[in-house]
Amino acid sequence: MRNRGFSLIELMIGLALAVILILLSVPNYATWTADAQIRNGVESVATGLRFAHGEAIKRNAAVEFILDPTTATGGWQINVVGVGVVQTTSFGEAATRVQFAPTPAGATTVTFTGLGAVAAANADASPILTEIAASHAGTVTDTRPLTVLVGGGRTGIKICDPAITDATSPRFCTAA
């Protein structure tokens, strides 16, 4: 009777195939992780904007959403004008390499009125933040940047993909 099992050659071929498959998947995994970080950062910003919008309506008072796009402290803060900070959040590990580019350049604040509309001017007289573009700052180059649009439309806050060219797609970047 013959013993059953794998020969050394069969094991080596199986191991070589496994190594090849792993090497082929590493670049895709890096891109997937970078895209996930971008998505997490953008969703965090959109969540903060929606929270500030809701707080303004709930309190019937002006509420500011302040973005801190620097990678060192990265996060956002919600202030009730004249009262103080309601919530502060950092991006943390979920978005460590995401770069945020506010429009207009240097704008970091959105002020919502007590009715939930975007105020014409911020309490600190800074430019009104209307768009936040997020991209990956690491070595991965084939990532998908996303944008958060602020103001206008039904909800006033929209996550969109600038690469989408079909105007009928809900992910198309138009006014929120």
Provide the pLDDT for residue 60: 92
Run of H or E residues at 35: helix 8-59
Residue 28, CA distances (Å) to 41, 44, 91, 142 in order: 20, 24, 24, 10
Domain 8-160 falls in which CATH fold?
minor pseudopilin epsh fold (3.55.40)
Other Cβ atoms less than 10 A from the Cβ of 169: the count is 11
Q: What is the pLDDT along the chain (176 residues), one digit of tens a residue?
A: 677 778 889 999 999 999 999 998 887 888 888 888 888 888 888 899 999 999 999 999 999 998 886 655 578 889 998 888 888 888 776 777 788 888 888 788 888 888 888 888 787 777 787 878 888 777 777 788 888 888 755 557 888 888 888 888 888 877 54
| Spatial contact of 94 and 41, defined as CB atoms under 8 Å apart | yes
Provide the pLDDT for residue 86: 86
35, 52, 38: which is closest to 129 by C-alpha? 52
> Backbone phi, then psi, for 107, in 5-degree steps?
-75, 135
Could you give the angle at the alpha carbon of 147 between the alpha carbons of 146 and 149, nearest 5°?
160
Provide the pLDDT for residue 96: 72
Provide the pLDDT for residue 176: 43
Provide the pLDDT for residue 38: 86
Quote the tokens at residue 153: 């439309």
Euclidean distance between CA atoms 88 and 108, whole angstroms? 14
* Strands, sheet with 109-112, edge to edge from the N-terminal-most edge strand: 84-90, 75-80, 63-68, 109-112
> Backbone phi, then psi, for 66, in 5-degree steps?
-120, 120
- How far from the centroid of its chain's Cα atoms is residue 159's Cα? 8
Provide the pLDDT for residue 124: 73
Provide the pLDDT for residue 12: 94
Other Cβ atoms less than 10 A from the Cβ of 78: the count is 22
157, 143, 3, 142: which is closest to 65 by C-alpha? 157
